[in-house]
Structure 1
Amino acid sequence: MERFYTAESVTEGHPDKLCDQIADSVLDDCLAHDPLSRVACEVLATRGHIMVAGEITSRHVPRISDIVESVMHSIGYSTRGFTIDLLLHRQSPDIAAGVDNPLEEREVIGTGELGAGDQGVMVGYACNETPEMLPLPVVLANRLALTLSSVRKAGLIPGLRPDGKTQVTVEYDEDGKPLRLDTVVISAQHSPSMEQDELLWQLADKVLTPALHDFPPDEDTRILVNPSGRFVFGGPEADTGLTGRKLMVDTYGVFAPHGGGAFSGKDPTKVDRSGAYMARYIAKNIVAAGLASRCKVTLAYAIGKAEPVMVSVDTFGTGTLCADDCLEEAVKLVFGLTPAAIIRQLDLLKPIYVRTAAYGHFGRPGFTWERTDKAKALRDAVE
């Protein structure tokens, strides 16, 4: 395998992540009042404008302007000088019909299923490299970004501002085990009065040291802080943000492919979100069951059809008890893979989504798709 792997993350104040959080806050508001809401919300943020567009079909009418203002203030931005533009309408009746009346129900009356809200490919990944069952560079990059924001909000480094990015490169040994930190990059927005030397010292003490405590830098690790120089101008005033533009930050970085569908702003009938959560749930349980040390699960759906058109398991040659095609059959026995079954198993009709919208959708406690409660059932099915 390659010797060096890199992963990046961004803070909640990054303009793309600002948009993801607004979109998921709109979704959560709808689900809190009407769990059967259909939401596909996109957000664009640029200098002086926040645009919220998409389709909402719900018994609840969200107060979008209030939601935008609340999210921006919670992150640390002011809405003063911003115009909020709304371009919203109801879900297409053709798509709604395919979801409410799936192909299987049209062929066999009374299945009680939901059709997939879109076609597409969803990928889940897990490995035994870290307690989070994610690759180490992904864990560290997200941890650095979260620590950077936490330090800013706690006022531990006066002068920090909301925008920021992190990146971690890890060197691996010949057996594919993390060996050392090669490079750590932090770009942190700051006030114009902060000197670079002071910023470097403060970030090293209050962000790098605690975030990297269990895998610290060595004397040869490169630490790059604001390598472009001053970072005073940031957020949507400096860079246009858009929902769904941090797909690899949301998932597994370079370690697994991405089917292409974004997550934020979409209710769970959209399988590009719920299917990706189920694929991660399956992959994590396979690894937790000791059936593989690395696992990629791929699901593919057709719009308006409930059952997936493809279920694939790839353990990269690390499977322990059986071949990958045997694991695929075990997965079909243990997990329900229709949209309705996924929603039931993972309890996805609750307003939980804004918590996913920054620092990765995977590897953090509190989400149903991070449970390993199916590990025994999977192992039993294989044996």
Structure 2
Amino acid sequence: MRNHGDFLFTSESVSEGHPDKVADRISDTILDAYLQADPEARVACETLVTTNRVVLAGEVRGPKEVEDTLIDRARDAIKDIGYDQEGFSWKKADITSHLHAQSADIAVGVDSAGEKDEGAGDQGIMFGFATRETEHLMPAPLFYAQTILERLRDHRKNGDPRGRGLLPDAKSQVTLRYENGKPVGATSVVVSTQHEAGMDQKEIREIVRETVQDVLPEGWMCPDNEFYVNPTGIFVIGGPDGDAGLTGRKIIVDTYGGAAPHGGGAFSGKDPTKVDRSAAYAARYLAKNVVAAGLADRCTIQLSYAIGVSRPLSVYVDLDGTGKDVDEDRLGLLLNEIMDLSPRGIRKHLRLNRPIYAKTAAYGHFGRVPDPELDNFTWENTDLVAPLKAALHR
């Protein structure tokens, strides 16, 4: 997204009950089970969900006793999301596991041995991004699209009258108008939410309208003729019964809503030796601290890795013309100095070898508020601001 001029920009989000997000949640639940039993476990779990059927696949290396709990853990995840419908129920769904041992060829490259440090679990490029558009330093269109769905989830789960009759599957889309590169209002909002049979669409529209107005800043609501709620007219059949879901198909929803580049790797179901996940978290952490330190209004960071190699091959910084008297090349060198960007270094710095991932599976991996009790979303902390400023002025 450009940082100047007048334009429209759109981002979408999906709820925890969207089929792909159900798959992500189950995959991350499996990951948490292994990390809880062994912080050094290796997991790459993929999940397929469809009408009353769940299939687990992928590779693991961890305690054998965890295997016997996986089906029950998957059911608990589905139950927590809220699915007990005829076409998809936590009680009745047929769940099968085809997880197998991690490839020895991958293990030999990742594991440390002798003088060899632990290597990256795969090759690839990862991007991090931060912008001053919101207090969470996230792109505004995605932030509001996600927050709308979080509010609808809260209505549904907390006994709020506004949630009566709403079901888990939902999607949102927010288009914002930018003037001189800054968001000033919504031009259209789209929300589709699954609901019980027989609900009045006018009632649903008013519930959603009230929710959207609560989320958007005052005066930002779009015109009524650009406010779309369940535009197909009905949304009773939803979730995995309405469409199959797969782990890792919502990578743009998971990150920056299209406002920044993406390296292509999904997050859910992967332990933090997989740099697709851990290095993307590190890149967000660095970019957020750069912006929080007042060094730029926008920051994009790219990291790259090779499988089995313990150091990043490159660290690239782009301040998109918003830098405050700071050289981007020097900044890249300093970031590599103040944080160990090896796979092991990232995991230790951000404390990633813990069962903290089920909470990341819906409503975005970035821009989230850490829970002090769970000590999660550590990549959202801004504790590098002081070290970064000190390094720049030495």
**Shorter-normalised TM-score: what interval?**
over 0.9
Alpha-carbon deviation of 1:168? 0.5
Q: Which of 163, 169, 174 matches 1:168?
A: 174
Q: Which of 366, 379, 382 matches 1:372?
A: 382
**Inter-CA distance 247–61: structure 2 relative to 1 (3 Å threshold):** same
Q: Which runs of 4+ in 1 moved over 4 A?
A: 218-221
Match of 1:97 in 2: 108
Match of 1:87 in 2: 98
Q: Percent of counterpart pairs with the same letter?
A: 48
1:13 correspondence with 2:17: yes
Match of 2:199 in 1: 194
2:24–2:47: 8 Å Cα contact kept in structure 1?
yes
1:321–1:382: 8 Å Cα contact kept in structure 2?
no
Question: In structure 2, how many angstroms separate the alpha carbons of the residues matched to 1:152 and 1:93?
Answer: 45
Q: Aligned letter for 2:327?
A: A
Alpha-carbon deviation of 1:211? 2.1
1:12–1:162: 8 Å Cα contact kept in structure 2?
yes
Q: Which of 71, 74, 79 matches 2:80?
A: 74
**TM-score calculated relative to the size of structure 1:** 0.94
Question: In structure 2, how many angstroms separate the alpha carbons of the residues matched to 1:354 and 1:80?
Answer: 20
Match of 2:323 in 1: 319
For 1:254, what is the secondary structure of its paired residue?
coil
Q: Which of 242, 248, 253 matches 2:252?
A: 248
Match of 1:140 in 2: 144
Alpha-carbon deviation of 1:322? 2.0
Q: Structure 2, unaligned stretches of length 5 or more? A: 84-88, 371-376
Alpha-carbon deviation of 1:215? 6.1
**Inter-CA distance 194–91: structure 2 relative to 1 (3 Å threshold):** same
Question: In structure 1, how many angstroms separate the alpha carbons of the residues matched to 2:272 and 2:218?
Answer: 36
Question: In structure 1, how many angstroms separate the alpha carbons of the residues matched to 2:34 and 2:287?
Answer: 30
Residue-by-residue CA offset, 1:282-306 (whole Å, 9 max, x unaligned): 0001111111110000000000000
Residue-by-residue CA offset, 1:129-160 (whole Å, 9 max, x unaligned): 11100111111011011111111112323211
2:187–2:223: 8 Å Cα contact kept in structure 1?
no
Query: How many residue pairs were aligned?
Result: 374
Question: In structure 2, how many angstroms separate the alpha carbons of the residues matched to 1:12 and 1:300?
Answer: 30
For 1:165, what is the secondary structure of its paired residue?
strand
Match of 2:165 in 1: 159
1:251–1:361: 8 Å Cα contact kept in structure 2?
yes
For 2:258, what is the secondary structure of its paired residue?
helix
CA RMSD of aligned residues (A): 1.5
Match of 1:24 in 2: 28
Alpha-carbon deviation of 1:82? 2.1
Q: Aligned letter for 2:264?
A: G
Q: Aligned letter for 1:318?
A: T
Residue-by-residue CA offset, 1:85-109 (whole Å, 9 max, x unaligned): 21111110111110113xxx7xxx5
For 1:255, what is the secondary structure of its paired residue?
coil
**TM-score calculated relative to the size of structure 2:** 0.92
Question: In structure 1, how many angstroms separate the alpha carbons of the residues matched to 2:109 and 2:277?
Answer: 17
Match of 2:154 in 1: 150
Q: Aligned letter for 1:161?
A: L
1:328 correspondence with 2:332: yes
Alpha-carbon deviation of 1:221? 7.2
